[in-house]
Amino acid sequence: MMKGSPYGTHRVISPKGVLPQPADVIDNDMEIYDNEVLIDVKTLNIDSASFAEISIRANGDIEDIKKTMLGIVEKAGKHKNPWTGSGGMLIGTVKEIGPAYEGTLKVGDKIATLVSLSLTPLKIDEIIEVRPEIDQVDIKGQAILFQSGIYAVLPNDIPEGLALSALDVAGAPAQTAKYVKPGDTVVVIGGGGKSGMLVTYEAKKRAGVTGKVIVIDGFQGSVDRAKSLGYADHYVLADATDAVGIYEEVAKLTDGKLADVVINCVNVENTEMSCILACKQHGLVYFFSMATSFTKAALGAEGVGKDIEMIVGNGYCEGHAEVTLEILRESKPIRDLFSKLYA
Whether the predicted pLDDT of 336 surpasses 90: yes
Same domain (yes/no): 90, 183: no
Instruction: Classify residue 92: in a domain, yes or no.
Output: yes
Domain boundary among 154, 183, 218: 154
Instruction: Classify residue 232: in a domain, yes or no.
Output: yes
Q: Is 332 helix (H, G, I), strand (E, B) or coil?
A: helix
Find out whether the peptide bond into 333 is cis, omega within 30 degrees of 0.
no
Torsion angle, alpha carbons of 134, 115, 65, 172, to 10:
40
Each residue of 43-74: pLDDT tens digit?
A: 999 988 899 999 999 999 999 999 999 999 99
**Nearest-angstrom CA–CA distance, 214 and 128:** 41
Same domain (yes/no): 121, 200: no
Domain interval for residue 287: 171-341
Same domain (yes/no): 82, 225: no
Same domain (yes/no): 177, 209: yes
Same domain (yes/no): 319, 203: yes
Same domain (yes/no): 143, 201: no
Same domain (yes/no): 203, 273: yes
In 132-205, which ranges are E strands? 136-145, 151-153, 185-189
* DSSP category for residue 270: S
Instruction: Classify residue 273: in a domain, yes or no.
Output: yes
Domain boundary among 154, 180, 212: 154
DSSP bridge pairs for 88: 46
Same domain (yes/no): 134, 180: no
Same domain (yes/no): 21, 84: yes
* Structural domain count, the chain: 2
Each residue of 259-296: pLDDT tens digit?
A: 999 999 998 899 999 999 999 999 999 999 878 899 99
**Nearest-angstrom CA–CA distance, 5 and 192:** 41
In the chain, the N- to C-terminal Cα span, in Å, equals 39
Same domain (yes/no): 148, 175: no
Each residue of 229-244: pLDDT tens digit?
A: 999 999 999 999 999 9
Instruction: Classify residue 134: in a domain, yes or no.
Output: yes
Same domain (yes/no): 64, 213: no
Instruction: Classify residue 1: in a domain, yes or no.
Output: no
Each residue of 115-166: pLDDT tens digit?
A: 999 999 999 999 999 999 989 999 999 999 999 999 999 999 999 889 988 9
Mean pLDDT of the residues in the chain: 95
pLDDT of residue 47: 87
Instruction: Classify residue 161: in a domain, yes or no.
Output: no
**Nearest-angstrom CA–CA distance, 219 and 209:** 27
Where residue 81 falls among pLDDT bands split at 50, 70, 90? very high
Percent of the chain with pLDDT over 90: 89
Whether the predicted pLDDT of 196 surpasses 80: yes
pLDDT of residue 343: 75
CATH number of residue 194's parent domain? 3.40.50.720
Same domain (yes/no): 137, 181: no
Query: Within a 10 A sphere around the Cβ of 78, how many other Cβ atoms?
Result: 27
Instruction: Classify residue 128: in a domain, yes or no.
Output: yes
What's the mean pLDDT in 218-224? 97
